[in-house]
Amino acid sequence: MGGGSALSLAVCLVLAVLAPAVSGDGATLESVPDLVKAMYLNIESFPCVRLLNLSGEIGCSNPGSEKIIAPIVRLTKGSDQLVQPSTVLLPSDQMSDFFLRVSNDPEFHQKVSGVLIESNGANNNLQELSPDGKFPQDAFAPYSNRSHNWNPAGSGIMWNRYDFPVFLLSEESTRVLQKVSEKNKKTDNGYKANVAEFDLVMQTTKAQTHDSASCLKERSCLPLGGHSVWASLPPIKNGSTEHQKPIVLAITSQDSASFFRDRSIGSDSPISGLIALLTAVDALSHIHDLRNLKKQLVFAVFNGEAWGYLGSRKFLQELDKGADSVNGINSLMIDQVVEIGSVGKAVIEKYPSFYVHAAGNSSASNKILDALQSASKSLGSDNVKVKQAASSNPGVPPSSLMSFIRKNMSTSGVVLEDFDSHFSNRFYHSYLDNPANINSSSIAAAAALVARSLYILASANSVVDLMTLNTIKVNVSLVEELIGCLLTCKPGLSCGLVKSFISPSSTSCPSHYVGVFLDDPSGTQFPSYADDTSRFVWNFLADKTSTLAGNKSSCTGKCGDEGEVCVGAEVEGGGRCVVSTTRYVPAYSTRVKFEDNAWHVLPANSSDPMGVVDPVWTESYWNTIGLRVYAVQDSTFDWLILLAGLSITAASYCAVHVGRAYISKVVKRD
C-alpha cells in the first residue's frame, strides 16, 4: 500500500470516529458520500440577507468573502457573556434584546460570529416580536407628527446592519442544534467542539459596493420590486362613455417584510386584507346589475408596499404618464379610495369590530364611513361593528392610502383596520405573523362589510336596492381556502384553487417578500417573470370580473379580440379567453430607470415628495447560501497528535535502525 493511500485511510478512520459526535448516527459507513453525510449536518434554515439603500446597508452578511466557522453556544439571557468568537444559538424571546445589545456594545459585537434563532413552533408563548419600528415608514407620512407609536412592539432591529450571518432555524433544526450546544457545554477538556459553518457571502461585500447607487452601477444588486394587479368590475369597454364614470377604488397590498427574507408570511399584515378583498370581489361578481351603477368599481392589489410603497407610488406614476398598464382609467376619475388593511384580528368578545381611519374630515370621506356603517347595519345578526378611529390619531396609519394623500392632499379615502390607535398585531413584520395570528371569521366579516360598502358607494346618491344589497354574501369556505393557499405550508400554493389558475414555481411554504424586479419593464402585460402570488391574483381577478368571450377556444397567451385576456394560460390543456379589464402594473421605485440593459438611480424630483424620501431599496446578489454543522478538534489536541506521531515516527526509525544493526551483527557472526 502506498504512503498516500495509507494517509487517506487514516484520515477517513479518524473522521469516521469523530462524525457521530454531531450526527448521533451509528450506522455503518459504506461509501464516501455516507461519510460526508455523517460528518456534516446541513441545517434547514432561513437567512437574513443584505439589503441596500441610498445611504447604506441593512441586514446580514459574512463580513468578507470567506466562510465563517465558530463553535455553537446557547445564550438564554440577553446579559450572558461570550468568552470567544462564537455562533450564538438564541431563543426567539431574546431576539430583540440581543440585537439591540449587539448594536450598542462593540466589544460584544466582535465576539458574535453568527446567530441562529430558535423556532418556537406550535408552542409559542411569546407575547410580542416586531423587528420593525414604532412608526413603520414614517418618512412617507402625509402629516408632521412622526412620533406616534402605531407599533408599540416595534424594536427597529431589522433596519440595522449586521456584519455576521443570521439564520432562523426550522423546528427540527432547533431541536438538533439545542442538543449540539448541550454537547459543547458538557465538553470541558476542549477535546472537540461542534461548530457552525456559514456561507452567506454577499456580492456587494465582495464588490465593496455599500449603497444602492454604487451596487446598481457595478451590477452587484437588483432593485426590490414585482408586479401589482388591478381590475375593474364590470370590465371597461374601450370607446364607451363608461370611461367617464367616477371610480370607487378598493385597494390592498400583497407583500410583507421580516428579519428573515423567506419567512415574510404577513398573515394579519397585510394578507388578511388581501383575502378579504378577493372574497369581496367574488361576492360582488354574482351581482348582475353592476353596469347600471353610477360609479365604476376598480380593485388594485399593490406589491412592494413594505419597502417604500413601491406599488402604489408606481401605479400613480403610471396614471400620470397614461401608460398602457393603466389604459382605461386616469387619476382624475378616482373619486373615493377604500383600503382594506389588517383585518384578521377584529373578533373581540364574540363580535368583530373594525375601525375606519379617514383621510381628513371631508364630506366625501364621511360618505365612505356612512356607507360602511350602512353595510354594517344591513348585515343584521352578524353584528359586525364599525367605529370611527380616534380623533387623537395623527392621521391614517401606515398604508398605501398615504401615497394617494401625498400625491393629492384632497384625496377622499379611508383605511379599514382591526385596530384604533395602535396595531393589534403584536407580530407586525415578524416571522410569527403566521396563520395562528388571525381569525378567519374576522376576515369573512371584513369581506362582507367591504362588498356591501362598495355596492353602496357605487350606487352614489341613488336609492340603494336593498334586495340586491342583501343578496351580497361572502363565501366563508373561500376565506378558509385562501388562508390555506396563501399562508400555510400544506397545501400552500399547491392548493387546488391556485393550481386551477397557475402552475406555481415554488412548492415551499408561502412567503410574501416582494423580491427583486427581474423583467425589462417594457413588457408589462406579459411579464417573463412575475411571482406566484401576483400571477394568482391576476388570474383570480380576471376570472371574477369577467364576462365570457365570443371565442371559447382554449388559449395559452394572448387572445385574439381586444379587451380579452387568457385566464388559466399556465394550466395543462390551456386557459380560456374572457372579456376582462385586468392588468399588471410594474412595482418598483420611481427613482430607478432601466436603460441600456441596466438599472440606474434617478435624481430626486421636488415634484415627487415621496420620491425625495425614497430609500431606493436593492438586494445584493449572492452565489450560494448555506449552513452546516460538524465536529472539530481543539488545535491543542491536534498538536498533541502531531507530537505523538512524530515521537512514534522517531521511535520507529530508531527501532528500525537498531534492529538493522543487530541483525547485521547476528548475520556476521553466523
pLDDT recorded at residue 274: 98
Beta strands in 86-180 (DSSP E): 86-90, 112-117, 161-162, 166-169
Please report, for residues 7, 158, 159, 239, 519, the alpha-carbon distance to residue 2 in angstroms, rounded to integers and kept in the order given: 9, 56, 58, 87, 57
Q: Is the pLDDT assigned to residue 549 strictly greater than 70?
A: no
Give, as one character, the DSSP assignment of residue 525: S
Mean of pLDDT values over 86-99: 94
Q: pTM for this one?
A: 0.90
pLDDT recorded at residue 183: 86
pLDDT recorded at residue 246: 95
Q: Mean pLDDT across the chain, nearest whole number?
A: 89
Q: How confident is the model at residue 13 (pLDDT cuts 50, 70, 90)?
A: very low
Contacts of residue 402, defined as CB under 8 A and 6 or more positions apart, other chains included, come to: 140, 141, 142, 309, 396
Helix 272-284 × helix 532-544 angle, to 10°: 20
Contacts of residue 411, defined as CB under 8 A and 6 or more positions apart, other chains included, come to: 334, 337, 359, 401, 404, 405
pLDDT recorded at residue 459: 92
- Are the C-beta atoms of 495 and 485 separated by less than 8 Å? yes
CB atoms within 10 A of CB 65: 10
Mean of pLDDT values over 479-492: 96
Q: Mean pLDDT: which of 145-149, 288-292, 346-350, 658-662 is highest?
A: 145-149
Q: How confident is the model at residue 18 (pLDDT cuts 50, 70, 90)?
A: very low
pLDDT recorded at residue 5: 43
Mean of pLDDT values over 345-353: 84
pLDDT recorded at residue 259: 97
> Measured between alpha carbons, how far apart are the two ends of the chain, in Å?
34
Q: Is the pLDDT assigned to residue 6 strictly greater than 50?
A: no
Mean of pLDDT values over 385-409: 95
pLDDT recorded at residue 363: 80
Digit-coded pLDDT (tens) for 45-68: 999 999 999 999 999 999 999 999
Helix, coil or strand: residue 298: strand
pLDDT recorded at residue 49: 96
CB atoms within 10 A of CB 77: 10
pLDDT recorded at residue 527: 85
- Are the C-beta atoms of 205 and 67 separated by less than 8 Å? no
Q: Is the pLDDT assigned to residue 238 strictly greater than 90?
A: no
Q: How confident is the model at residue 78 (pLDDT cuts 50, 70, 90)?
A: low
Q: Is the pLDDT assigned to residue 469 strictly greater than 80?
A: yes
Digit-coded pLDDT (tens) for 280-324: 999 999 998 888 899 999 999 999 999 999 999 999 999 999 999
Q: Which residues pair with 223 in a beta bridge?
A: 618
Q: Is the pLDDT assigned to residue 243 strictly greater than 70?
A: no
Higher pLDDT, 438 or 17: 438
Helix (H) or strand (E) holding 155: none
Query: Exposure string (b/e) for 535-555, b if CB count within 10 Å is 16 or more?
Result: bbbbbbbbbbbbeebeeeeeb
pLDDT recorded at residue 52: 98
Mean of pLDDT values over 127-134: 96
> Residue 131: is the preceding peptide bond cis (ω within 30°)?
no
Contacts of residue 183, defined as CB under 8 A and 6 or more positions apart, other chains included, come to: 21, 194
pLDDT recorded at residue 36: 65
- Are the C-beta atoms of 109 and 102 separated by less than 8 Å? yes
Q: Is the pLDDT assigned to residue 207 strictly greater than 70?
A: yes
Instruction: Give the residue from 502, 397, 491, 460 showing the smallest Cα distance to 148.
Output: 397
Digit-coded pLDDT (tens) for 602-632: 999 888 889 999 999 999 999 989 999 998 8
